[in-house]
Amino acid sequence: MKAIALTHYLPSDHPDCFIAANLHDPVPGPRDLLVRVTATSVNPVDTKVRSPKAKIESSPRVLGWDAVGEVIATGSEVTLFKAGDRVWYAGDISRPGSNSALQLVDERIAAIAPTTLSDVEAAALPLTAITAWETLFERFALTRESRGKLLIIGGAGGVGSIAIQLARQLTGMEVIATASRPESREWCLEMGAHQVVNHHKLQEELTALGITQVDAIFCTNATAEHWATMAGLIRPFGHICTIAESSEPWDLSLLKSKSVTFSQEFMFTRSLFQTPDMIEQHHLLGRVAALVDEGVLQTTLTRTIPSLTPVTLAQAHAEVEAGRMVGKLVIDMSGFAN
Ligand SMILES: NC(=O)c1ccc[n+]([C@@H]2O[C@H](COP(=O)([O-])OP(=O)(O)OC[C@H]3O[C@@H](n4cnc5c(N)ncnc54)[C@H](OP(=O)(O)O)[C@@H]3O)[C@@H](O)[C@H]2O)c1
């Protein structure tokens, strides 16, 4: 099968950043789906995995953890899908990714894709929707009855865009998102935020709005930079969750006097550790697909790259690693397998 892969970990502007490779067709394990990929998105995780280092792969490594495609074969124990199904999933960080004509995915972390979106529109959502869903409804345990203020830091990014929609549509929380530019601010309002403040002047702009305290904070970006402000803003017994790692340690002692809960979310935990509840990702992706088809949620697609090549993939990585995405970038792979 065709794939765009890497053997060396190079900057995105290096001419050999990615290579075209011809790899053996993967063979499904018992619970695997073999999927012909028709669209993939690029997430910051792709750029972090690709980031320059001395390591050299002995065989080409395929990145990409967001896909829409058609099931063309199933493993011996698959019960949830059949050949011909159109599925969507983020996949498993420990397995080859979706920048290839064919990909294997465990059926417990895939679902039928929304019927009302094109492949490209749908591929914008799986990884970020899983991340936002697990944060809002598992870590924070929000419900339709939840009231109070939710601060989403990094509101216009891929995760923020779907987190705003989920919180606005499925809870009673007041959603305060952060964005620093006119276009990212406008996008947060379009996604459903009640208020938008600039993350570079977080305390100042919240104070100007009369907001001195929030009930929960979903930090999708620059956790260390916002740490002291978050510790000051969160209410007693409130909850802060971050998805963004940091090179600096977080001073948890700042949260003690208010008995604040701090948690981390990593959407690959279930697949990486094959947790007994990993099928929850099948269920939640199914719920998200239904909500899209009911018109409750919308795609977060803002940028489409028309084909997958070593050059276009490197360009996509450069755009994502610039850290200024509004919504999501997706690569159309409909002609890739030919
Ligand atoms: N743990 C997990 O499971 C998981 C899952 C998904 C993503 N992540 C991580 O979460 C982070 C966000 O992912 P993403 O896909 O949403 O990224 P993204 O789409 O690249 O985020 C771009 C957004 O970040 C905002 N931003 C830039 N600097 C910021 C700052 N200092 N403070 C707050 N916001 C800032 C920008 O807003 P402005 O342009 O308005 O400044 C931009 O809209 C990444 O580090 C990613 O690796 C983790």
Helix, strand, coil % over all residues of the chain, rounded to 5? 30, 30, 40
pLDDT score of 248 more than 90: no
Distance CA 206, CA 286 (A): 36
Confidence (pLDDT) at 230 = 98
Confidence (pLDDT) at 123 = 98
Distance 257 CA to ligand 1 centre (A): 29
Distance 195 CA to ligand 1 centre (A): 18
CB-ligand 1 contact for 327 (6 Å cutoff): no
Confidence (pLDDT) at 245 = 86
Confidence (pLDDT) at 338 = 67
pTM above 0.85, yes or no: yes
Q: What does the pLDDT average to over 126-132?
A: 98
Distance CA 17, CA 5 (A): 9
Distance CA 33, CA 36 (A): 10
> Closest Cα to residue 52, out of 11, 13, 16?
11
- pLDDT, one tens digit per residue, over 187-208 is 999 999 999 999 999 999 999 9
CB-ligand 1 contact for 271 (6 Å cutoff): no
Give the nearest ligand 1 atom to 327 CA: 19
DSSP output for 99-136: SBSEEEEEGGGEEEPPTTS-HHHHHTSHHHHHHHHIII
Distance CA 255, CA 241 (A): 12
Using a pLDDT cut of 70, give the percent of the chain over it.
100
